[in-house]
Amino acid sequence: MTQVGVLGGSGTVGRIAVERLAGWEVGSLRVGGRDLDRAAEACTAATGVPAEPFRVDLDDDAALRDFCAGCDIVINCAGPSYRVLDRVARAALAGGAHYVDAAGDLVAIDALTAGGATGLDHHAAVFSAGLMPGLSGLLPRLLAVDGPLARLDVYVGGAAAIGPLSAVDALLTRGPRFGTALAAWRDGQIVPGALKPLRSVALPGFRDRVHAWPFLSTEMSRLAAELGVDELRNYTVYVTEAIPEALARAWADDEAALDAHVPAVVAAAGTDLAAAGPYYAMLFQTVPRDPAPGRARRLLLRTPDSYALSGVVAALTARELHEGTIPPGAHPASDVLSPSRTLTALRDDPLVTGVELS
């Protein structure tokens, strides 16, 4: 029987990954974290398959090695991801397992591949298996299957609780390996300062008026280059300006003081939740280069919980590894998941409250 280890399986993202893997009967589960009681509680949701709680601190080499031992697939939902980088991936590969990370991004892939990781000849390490990055780089491909795009506009956001650990990741999401604020992609290159924040705009799928902040992530630049899109605009959508203001204050401060801004980011997410209630939307709008009648131009996906849905994506990625559809090597999830299979799976998931392809 396949053995899947979910590190951080008692967290917001990891809990749902555990639930879905159990429901799909991918294999027996090992749920890891520092607090054994929380891990044991997460195991109780895994009905139908054997699930064992496992005490492990990812900063402890021996404990991490023991956690990975015997696993066929290790999923990492612990963090902060941009501090963990390739640490868990290396342990998983050294133990002979495939690896899935709900986050990680190109910085983690760089760290893993630059250091010459062993195990990638025979096993896969799949990063950014969440919503953003993740689905944000995967789903727009569905709108490009019938021909090239002149324009792709991406709006992802809403209101969600952000825990302290994820707040650290939000604060660390800056610098050229993550992306460029206010930039657009035009004619094969990044154009800095091309866009302005859209304040108080109405967008399909988003509640009331929202604020859309341009951020050309590296995920979007890669996608634009791969699809040959003439112009790509990528926006992170907020229901109030509390989060961008909290991030701006932190980034104006001394780098060493970053962690002191975590409570402000957590509180700002609380402000958004109070204003709009929990919801999240991913909106992709296109202008095809050669418009043909009947061609889909817009994809909209809605969920009440972006963190939980990231857990679903991580679990789906593990299921694909289990089914052997992902080749060995280090990849972003959007490069190796099938957009159509993934959307089909998401349509059936209770955490997806709407999918419109029109």
Interface residues toward ligand NAP, by CB under 6 A: 7-8, 10-14, 33-35, 38, 56-59, 77-81, 102-103, 130-134, 163, 165-166, 169, 307, 310
DSSP per-residue codes, 126-180: EE--BTTTBHHHHGGGGGGTTS-EEEEEEEEEEE----HHHHHHHHH--STTTEE
User: Judging by DSSP bridges, how do beta strands 198-202 and 209-217 pair with one another?
Assistant: antiparallel
Nearest-approach distance from CB 41 to ligand NAP, in angstroms: 10
Nearest-approach distance from CB 342 to ligand NAP, in angstroms: 14
> What single letter denotes the amino acid at residue 111?
A
Torsion sign across C-alpha atoms 150, 134, 88, 120: negative
By C-beta, is 27 or 33 nearer to ligand NAP? 33
By C-beta, is 100 or 242 nearer to ligand NAP? 100
By C-beta, is 173 or 285 nearer to ligand NAP? 173
> In 24-101, which ranges are continuous DSSP H helix?
36-44, 61-68, 81-84, 87-94
Nearest-approach distance from CB 166 to ligand NAP, in angstroms: 4
**Residue found under tokens 């679990």:** 315
| Range list of β-strands (E), the chain | 3-7, 28-33, 51-55, 73-76, 98-101, 124-127, 149-159, 179-181, 184-186, 189-191, 198-202, 209-217, 231-238, 279-288, 298-303, 329-332, 354-357
By C-beta, is 12 or 180 nearer to ligand NAP? 12
By C-beta, is 149 or 217 nearer to ligand NAP? 217
The terminus-to-terminus CA distance of the chain in angstroms comes to 41
Nearest-approach distance from CB 186 to ligand NAP, in angstroms: 26
Nearest-approach distance from CB 291 to ligand NAP, in angstroms: 32
Structure tokens at 128: 């950014």
Around Cβ 20, how many Cβ atoms within 10 Å? Answer: 23
Closest residue by beta carbon to ligand NAP: 11
Nearest-approach distance from CB 189 to ligand NAP, in angstroms: 26
By C-beta, is 57 or 146 nearer to ligand NAP? 57
Nearest-approach distance from CB 219 to ligand NAP, in angstroms: 10
- Count each helix (H run) and each strand (E run) in the chain, helices first: 14, 17
d(CA 352, CA 309) in angstroms, rounded, equals 8
Contact (CB, 8 A) for 80 and 165: yes
Contact (CB, 8 A) for 75 and 314: yes
Contact (CB, 8 A) for 130 and 103: yes
Nearest-approach distance from CB 38 to ligand NAP, in angstroms: 5
By C-beta, is 149 or 205 nearer to ligand NAP? 205
By C-beta, is 11 or 214 nearer to ligand NAP? 11
Contact (CB, 8 A) for 150 and 164: no
Nearest-approach distance from CB 128 to ligand NAP, in angstroms: 6
By C-beta, is 27 or 80 nearer to ligand NAP? 80
